[in-house]
Amino acid sequence: MLGFLTGLFWVAVVVIAALAAGWVFRTAAIAVAPKKVAKALRTAPLTASFGMLMILVYIVVAIFAPLIAPFGETEVVSVRNAAWDDQFLLGTDNLGRDLLSRLIYAARNTVGIAFVTTALAFIVGSVLGLLAATIGGWFDQIVSRAVDVLMAIPALIFVLLLLTIVGQSIINMILVIALIDSTRVYRLARAVAMNIVVMDYVEAARLRGEGLWRLITREILPNAMAPLVAEFGLRFCFVFLTISALSFLGLGIQPPLADWGQMVKEFSGLITFGIITPLLPAGCIALLTVSVNFVVDWQLHRASGLKE
Amino acid sequence: MSHILKMIAQRLALGLVTLFVVSLIIALGTELLPGDFAQERLGQSATPETVAALRAQLGLDQPFHIRYLTWLRDIVTSGDFGVSLANGNPVTEQISERLRYTLWLAFYAAAISVPLSLTLGILAALFRNSFFDRFANASALTSISFPEFFVAYILIFLLAGAGGVFPSMVNFRTDPTFSEYLYRAFLPAITLTLVVTAHMMRMTRAAIINLLASPYIEMARLKGIKPMRVVLRHALPNALAPIINVIALNLAYLITGVVVVEVVFVYPGLGQLMVDSVRVRDMPVVQGVALIFAAAYVLLNLTADVLATLSNPRLVHKR
Amino acid sequence: MTRLTSFASPSRRGVLKGATAVGAAALVTPWGTPLRAQPVRGGTLRMGMAYGSTTDSFDPGTWENDFMIFQAHTRNNFLTEIAADGTLVPELAESWEASDDATEWTFTIRSGVEFHSGHILTAEDVIASINYHRGEDSTSAAAPIVADITDMRADGMNVIFTLANGNADFPFIMSDYHLPILPAREDGTIDPLTQDGCGPFRIVEFEFGVGASYARHEGYWKEGLPYFDALEQISIFDSAARQNALISGEVDYIDTADLNTVHLLEQAPGVNVLSITGTQHYGFPMDTRAAPFDDVNIRLALKYGINRQQLVDTILNGYGSLGNDHPIGPGQRFFNTELEQREYDPERMQFHLREAGLESLDVDIHLADAAFAGALDAGVLFAESAAAGGINLNVVREPNDGYWSNVWMQQPFCGTYWGGRPTEDWMFATSYAEGVPWNETYWSHERFNELLVSARAELDESLRREQYFEMQQIVSDEGGIIIPMFAAYVGAYSDSLAHPDQIASNWRNDGHRLGERWWFAS
């Protein structure tokens, strides 16, 4: 019981600290941002502000990783599994590399890979989806049936199969995961766009003789943006999970590159003995996921036009 | 109504085509994998003679298209899915046992996660932007950003392990009774619940909130109807289509995508069978499992579409 | 994922020693080593095993993973047995003798041995069981090791084998796990998928890739054995799940512990870690025909570029010993004690690079954890240490899936493991002799090949020792493989289990005979 109460207390402390950080960030951002942005920022709830702050921190860490990390990414600096101390703030990993440095470098690799993969999946998926909805007819039929087939094969097993065939490299991994992910994006984009293409204003634009490209970028995309952005938030974090699951099944990122998904897998056995090291990379993934989705929620809320 | 029947018939026909194409892709994919069954089976002890003999014995020396067409012909003419290359057991027999376990686990997890996520989603929409909403959201997001096996390890650490309440592995040595099953499969079911709940809950919330700004809801609210009633009676029915869709997707995932959870809890499901069979290139088994997975996906999608159509009177009585 | 024991074989003396052990062992206990405490009968042993696949089969020609190999020794008996101390002792064969040129071998089969089905062992059963692996259309993985048998015939309870070439070590081959004795059918063949056997336990239920349960074979010929009433094998692929199962008491024994967390497992209450160092070793073979590895200086530079102590401490968590680039373990008879241990030395790396006419070198090493547990991490550490001496090692991650068919012996520089062999000759002849199928470095050394043949026939022990010392020296200095470490078999068991003082080191699980050698402490 006491343990539960202490736990609750710490959760409350963390939540309040996070919200306070969000508030500070929002106030500061409003002060320095241009007028238009500042106005939008004023509507941001504290959770979204906290999310933006965290995303900013991740970006900074990723870009300046070599400057921030106390040791090199692959440098063996101590004995294996060293405890937390002043020199190695989070101890060392199973090869004696500084864990904090690995986590920092992983921000660069993991977020980079996840971002490229998700972006690729969204470009391919939404372009095809919007085209299918707008053109319709045989184009829609062919692409939709092809996507149906691809989706009918379990994603993880399909990735496993494709990666074994094409060989393992970061590029291949990005391409294969993006291919599988893009089918999910396609479905969503097409479904959303289908509801939009029947609207009067799209019909009117068609009659005005607007070209296909203009029709999509000017009339349909802006109105389909909200659900797509919401999906982006979730898809983004699913990439970490896919990489992690792949390394569970024996594939994954090329060593000695640091990657959170892989690190969770490597350390996960320790949790059995009540050692919290594996929670660190998992926490990095979770924090980023939550942050991104807080911001997404705020944007969705703005897009829904709901006044509260 | 006939409109719906026609749609079902059409979709089933399309589903068959999908299954055919899936089998072709899987067959080609397995063929493209480096090494064949004979090499993988004999592994490091392979000699050219034994590999050749094994190939001849199993008919692997035939060209790819002959093998595929023979396999297809047996299914179409006699419903025979062939025998496993590895141990000679009929594929249907091998799959049916595991399919049962896979479906049980999927139902178990769904029985917990679907009501849970709908309730949480509706409550979150009702009290949107409240502390409850944020907290439910953040915890759900946190739980899905942990890899499945890691969630499983944490649950094992907390609930099994030394002095724990639940067994850390499922291990059915004999056919379990229903209550025994519920007890032994509790941790995998909870793990899967944690994995799929967030997605469904967020979609429920988003779909409802999406409608709350529409004029008819505004109208209902102005009439002074209580918020709970507005959400349940006015918004929810119209938000059902996307919710049903995401539930179907997640159910399909529970059937087809849980290999990692199976491995951690030593659960005898189809995913492990599929991965093992791919590893040794046991084509008939790979094909059999892939077809089951594809069929589950097609049927669930179809059901979702039918239900979504039924939930919308305008679509039911179209023309 | 264990390798087939080889068609090459141990020394003549090894067999002679085995033959004398026949008499001695029979006086003490018929099944092996002296026991520490009076064993107790009873209980159901539950074992968590790291291997086992849904694609396994009862066909003995297909057995390749530890789950099925353990099954082989639990359900079946063999003609001969390797005892816990490494000597060859009789099992279903009471005794054996060879003609002078060792081309004709006569095995006397034990009488009155009862199969689980009630069938009584005959010489025909032995012939049918071995015949299954022979012949041109054999699909058995053991086909190469019985290829030399040209004829078999029964004479009462004697079975006479005729070999194409004299082989003094033939009885060792008969202990191979692919060669269990199964009951013959009317037509003189065995049913390869039978579940019958004459081992200590009979199969009650078996589900491939999931688990198996056995009950004691009441009619077992080894008196008083086995101690357990029943035995369960459960396939637990995930290492954390396996350890959890042991800690939470769902199993009594796990065959493989995760070396990353074994120090924590050791502290868990009621858990003992079992570490057996034998001949299992890990290595990095180089294709000695392919540039740059065709230059012995490059090979030496790489050998000096690996920090062995670091690998043993890190990858093996201390559960192992240093390797010296040859496959003979410190516990073996002719282990070269005079050979200096090779150390990590960046300066000598640079020296050998310059000898090869190079300033620096970029090479790829192809690894997957299928090669051995921790192979990728070992590669990363290797790359770190080699960089100091001017070699840029690029670790290429290969999929576990298909590693042994697509990477091993295909890529010029990769990873490997060997379970090891009971004798020096067997090991060298398997993987170092010119032109043998598993010569993974494609190495050919004239002097070495000469010594191999002469040492096999040498009866003078000191001369023989000299020859084996020289061979180890040659492999270490000129061979194509880097062997940085000998790895222990590390498993764990609960306090409730007891075992004999001596545990076999030829395989995991007490030589895979744990089922009849261990018992529950009362």
Q: Is the pLDDT of residue C36 over 60?
A: no
Residues B262 and A185: their CA atoms lie apart, in Å, by: 28
Asked, for residue B175, whether it belongs to a domain, the answer is yes
A302 contact partners, CB below 8 Å, separation of at least 6: A40, A43
- Phi–psi pair at B188, nearest 5 degrees: -60, -40
Q: How confident is the model at residue B1 (pLDDT cuts 50, 70, 90)?
A: low
Give pairs for A169-172: CB < 8 Å, separation 24+.
Answer: A169/A254, A170/A113, A170/A253, A170/A254, A170/A257
How far away is chain C from the Cα of A123, in angstroms, using its nearest Cα?
29
The whole model's pTM is what? 0.80
Domain boundaries, chain C: 39-76+199-277+489-520, 80-173, 281-487
> Which residues in chain C touch residue B167, judged by CB atoms under 8 angstroms apart?
248, 250
Instruction: Determine the pLDDT at residue B167.
Output: 80
Residues C140 and C188: their CA atoms lie apart, in Å, by: 18
End-to-end CA distance of chain C: 35
pLDDT in tens, A156-191: 888 888 888 887 788 888 899 999 989 988 988 888
Q: Mean pLDDT throughout C149-177?
A: 84
Instruction: Determine the pLDDT at residue C70.
Output: 92
Nearest CA in chain C to B272: C54
Instruction: Determine the pLDDT at residue B88.
Output: 79
Chain C residues 392-431 within an 8 A CB cutoff of chain B: 401-402, 404-406, 408
A79-92 core/surface letters (b: 16 or more CB in 10 A; e: else): ebbbeeeeebebbb
What is chain C's mean pLDDT, rounded?
83
pLDDT in tens, C386-419: 998 889 999 888 877 778 777 888 889 999 988 7
Q: Mean pLDDT throughout B20-25?
A: 89
Torsion of CA B289, B295, B300, B301, to 10 degrees: 120
Which of B30, B36, B133, B150 to mutate to probe the A interface, most A CBs <10 Å? B150
Q: How confident is the model at residue B208 (pLDDT cuts 50, 70, 90)?
A: confident
B66 lies in the same domain as B106 = no
Instruction: Determine the pLDDT at residue C32.
Output: 47
Instruction: Determine the pLDDT at residue C145.
Output: 77
Residues C176 and C198: their CA atoms lie apart, in Å, by: 16
> Which residues in chain A touch residue B156, judged by CB atoms under 8 angstroms apart?
272
- Phi–psi pair at C206, nearest 5 degrees: -145, 120
B74 lies in the same domain as B212 = no
B202 lies in the same domain as B111 = yes
Region of poorest pLDDT, from B156-165, C268-277, C393-402: B156-165
Q: Is the pLDDT of residue C204 over 80?
A: yes
CATH match for A72-304 among 1.10.3720.10, 3.40.50.720, 1.20.1730.10, 3.30.2090.10: 1.10.3720.10
**CA atoms within a 13 Å half-sphere pointing along the CA-CB vector of B253:** 22
CATH topology of domain C281-487: Dipeptide-binding Protein; domain 3 (3.10.105)
Structure token digits, residue C207: 């589900």
C195 contact partners, CB below 8 Å, separation of at least 6: C58, C75, C203, C206
Residues C483 and C283: beta-carbon distance below 8 Å: yes
B65 lies in the same domain as B213 = no
Q: Could you tell me how many residues make up chain A?
A: 308
Range of the domain at B22: 2-78
Instruction: Determine the pLDDT at residue C379.
Output: 92
Q: C190 - beta bridge partners?
A: C184
Cis peptide leading into residue B215 (ω within 30°): no
Distance of CA C330 to the CA centre of its chain: 16
Instruction: Determine the pLDDT at residue A218.
Output: 81
Range C39-76+199-277+489-520 has CATH code 3.40.190.10: yes
Structure token digits, residue B57: 């014995």
In 3D, which of B91, B83, A157, A74 has the Cα closest to residue C376?
A74
B131 lies in the same domain as B178 = yes
Q: Do C248 and B149 touch (CB under 8 A)?
A: no
Q: Do C137 and B84 touch (CB under 8 A)?
A: no
Residues B290 and B250: beta-carbon distance below 8 Å: no
> Which residues in chain C touch residue A253, judged by CB atoms under 8 angstroms apart?
397
Instruction: Determine the pLDDT at residue C15.
Output: 37
- Phi–psi pair at A76, nearest 5 degrees: -90, 115
Write the DSSP assignment of C28-51 as a string of letters.
H-TTSS--SS------EEEEEES-
pLDDT in tens, A25-82: 888 888 888 887 788 778 788 888 888 888 889 888 888 888 887 887 777 777 777 7
Residues C162 and C104: beta-carbon distance below 8 Å: yes
Residues B125 and B227: beta-carbon distance below 8 Å: no
Asked, for residue B314, whether it belongs to a domain, the answer is no
Q: Is the CB of residue B17 less than 8 Å away from at least one CB of chain A?
A: yes
Residues C63 and C177: beta-carbon distance below 8 Å: yes
Q: C362 - beta bridge partners?
A: C392
B137 lies in the same domain as B276 = yes
Chains touching A by CB (3 or more pairs below 8 Å): B, C
> Which residues in chain A touch residue C313, judged by CB atoms under 8 angstroms apart?
79-80
Q: Do A308 and B128 touch (CB under 8 A)?
A: yes
Asked, for residue B108, whether it belongs to a domain, the answer is yes
Query: How many structural domains are present in chain B?
Result: 2
Q: Do B212 and A272 touch (CB under 8 A)?
A: no
* Closest by Cβ to B147, choosing from A245, A269, A288: A245
Residues B103 and B254: their CA atoms lie apart, in Å, by: 9
Instruction: Determine the pLDDT at residue C17.
Output: 34
Query: How high is the ipTM of this complex?
Result: 0.80
Write the DSSP assignment of chain A as a string of letters.
-HHHHHHHHHHHHHHHHHHHHHHHHHHHHHHHS-HHHHHHHHT--HHHHHHHHHHHHHHHHHHTHHHH-SS-SS-B-SSTTPPP-SSSTT-B-TTSBBHHHHHHHHHHHHHHHHHHHHHHHHHHHHHHHHHHHHH-HHHHHHHHHHHHHHHHS-HHHHHHHHHHHH---HHHHHHHHHHHHHHHHHHHHHHHHHHHHTSHHHHHHHHTT--HHHIIIIIIHHHHHHHHHHHHHHHHHHHHHHHHHHHHTT--SPTTS--HHHHHHHHGGGGGGT--TTHHHHHHHHHHHHHHHHHHHHHHHHHHT---
Region of poorest pLDDT, from A101-105, C212-216, C461-465: C461-465
Q: How confident is the model at residue C306 (pLDDT cuts 50, 70, 90)?
A: very high
B149 lies in the same domain as B72 = no
Q: C13 - beta bridge partners?
A: none
B70 lies in the same domain as B116 = no
Residues A258 and A256: their CA atoms lie apart, in Å, by: 6
Structure token digits, residue A128: 């095809």
Dihedral sign for Cα A222, A227, A231, A233, please: positive
Rg for chain A, CA atoms, rounded: 22
Helical axes A279-304 vs B131-145, angle rounded to 10°: 130
Instruction: Determine the pLDDT at residue C8.
Output: 33
Helical axes A260-267 vs A279-304, angle rounded to 10°: 140
**CA atoms within a 13 Å half-sphere pointing along the CA-CB vector of C19:** 15
Chains touching B by CB (3 or more pairs below 8 Å): A, C
Q: Do C248 and B168 touch (CB under 8 A)?
A: yes
Q: Is the pLDDT of residue A306 over 70?
A: no
Nearest CA in chain C to A268: C240
- Phi–psi pair at C154, nearest 5 degrees: -100, 145
Q: How confident is the model at residue C473 (pLDDT cuts 50, 70, 90)?
A: very high
Residues C26 and B36: their CA atoms lie apart, in Å, by: 47
Q: Do B86 and C56 touch (CB under 8 A)?
A: yes
Q: Which ranges of C432-491 does DSSP label H, i.e. alpha helix?
A: 446-457, 461-478
Secondary structure of chain B in HEC code, one letter for each residue: CHHHHHHHHHHHHHHHHHHHHHHHHHHHHHHHCCCCHHHHHHHHHCCHHHHHHHHHHHCCCCCHHHHHHHHHHHHHHHCCCCECCCCCCEHHHHHHHHHHHHHHHHHHHHHHHHHHHHHHHHHHHHCCCCHHHHHHHHHHHHHHHCCHHHHHHHHHHHHCCCCCCCCCCCCCCCCCCHHHHHHHCHHHHHHHHHHHHHHHHHHHHHHHHHHHCCHHHHHHHHCCCCHHHHHHHHHHHHHHHHHHHHHHHHHHHHHHCCHHHHHHHCCCCHHHHHHHHHHHCCHHHHHHHHHHHHHHHHHHHHHHHHHHHHCCHHHHCCC
Rg for chain B, CA atoms, rounded: 24
B44 lies in the same domain as B184 = no
Residues C80 and C32: beta-carbon distance below 8 Å: no
In 3D, which of B101, B257, B255, B111 has the Cα closest to residue B185?
B101
Write the DSSP assignment of A95-160 as a string of letters.
TSBBHHHHHHHHHHHHHHHHHHHHHHHHHHHHHHHHHHHHH-HHHHHHHHHHHHHHHHS-HHHHHH
What is chain B's mean pLDDT, rounded?
82
Helical axes B283-310 vs A137-152, angle rounded to 10°: 120
pLDDT in tens, C437-472: 778 899 999 999 888 877 776 667 788 888 889 999
In 3D, which of C223, C199, C201 has the Cα closest to residue C212?
C201
* Residue B239 belongs to domain with CATH number: 1.10.3720.10
Q: What is the CATH number of domain C80-173?
A: 3.90.76.10
A70 contact partners, CB below 8 Å, separation of at least 6: A89, A98, A100, A101
Q: Do A293 and B137 touch (CB under 8 A)?
A: yes
Nearest CA in chain A to C240: A269
Residues C58 and C195: beta-carbon distance below 8 Å: yes
Residues C93 and C221: their CA atoms lie apart, in Å, by: 13
B114 lies in the same domain as B50 = no
Instruction: Determine the pLDDT at residue B314.
Output: 62
**SS3 category, C191:** coil
DSSP assigned state of C480: S
Chain A residues 262-301 within an 8 A CB cutoff of chain B: 264-265, 268-269, 271-272, 274, 278, 282, 285-286, 288-290, 293-294, 297, 300-301
